Amino acid sequence: MVIMRITVTRIVFCLAALVTLNGCAGSVKYPSYYTFNLPAPPDPPAAETAHANLAIREFRAPAYLRQGAIVYRKSPEQIGFYAYHRWAMDPRDFVTNAIIERLRASGTFAHVQSYDGSRDVDYVLSGRLEKLEELDYQGGVKVQVAMSAEITSIATGKPVWSNEVSETGDVDKHDVPAVVSEMNHTMERAIAKLVTPVSAQIAAPSPK
């Protein structure tokens, strides 16, 4: 009888442990991943006078923007990270690719490509994603996107163009999907303002 009681006690204990483990497994949280969804740029115009080739380096960014988590600020000095809300791709890669597409569509250059170290181009664009974050300290919830860029002539090694922009947007409701949606709109405006002056300031060199 004693042995039977011990066996029954062990069975009950094991069943309780299994129920506890199943309960824990059911409460496991998995990250949600987000990306940008900007409108496709228009087809480039026929630019018969465009002869310059442009290469674009991967954009740089502060270390805290490269960790993958979506960033928020409770004050100018305090940075926080959403533990379960992350970017599906490195924001630097997204911005770099978006800038390439926009400048291809502008028709300002004969060819626009990612920078691969080759000097067989006329200009190189280097840029930095300065801010991509939610702001919770300016009254209501906002987002901010800031970036800068510079174009250098390969022939002279000197800058021929530079620009920097900072855009903010209001978030209607305080949840992460709404924040990301507004980041998408704000990113679109920032990229457009960053690259639009290029065509007005870059003089295409004569064909080689």
- Three-state DSSP class for residue 55: strand
Q: Which pLDDT value is given to residue 133?
A: 97
The C-alpha atoms of residue 102 and residue 193 are separated, in whole angstroms, by: 11
Nearest-CA neighbor of 141 among 166, 173, 188, 167? 173
CA 45 to centroid of chain Cα atoms: 27
| Positions in the chain whose pLDDT score sits under 50 | 2-6, 8-9, 11-25, 204-208
Q: Are strands 123-135 and 142-153 parallel, antiparallel or unpaired?
A: antiparallel
Q: Which pLDDT value is given to residue 183?
A: 97
pTM over the 0.85 mark: no
Q: Which pLDDT value is given to residue 170?
A: 96
- Three-state DSSP class for residue 110: coil
Q: Which pLDDT value is given to residue 126?
A: 98
Any idea which residue has 């400048």 for tokens?
Answer: 103
> What is the CATH superfamily name and number for domain 32-201?
ABC-type transport auxiliary lipoprotein component (3.40.50.10610)
Any idea which residue has 């630019």 for tokens?
Answer: 47
Q: Which pLDDT value is given to residue 68?
A: 94
Nearest-CA neighbor of 47 among 104, 126, 129? 104
3-44: pLDDT as tens digits: 444 454 454 444 444 444 444 445 788 999 999 999 888 777
- Where do the structural domains in the chain lie, given as residue ranges? 1-30, 32-201
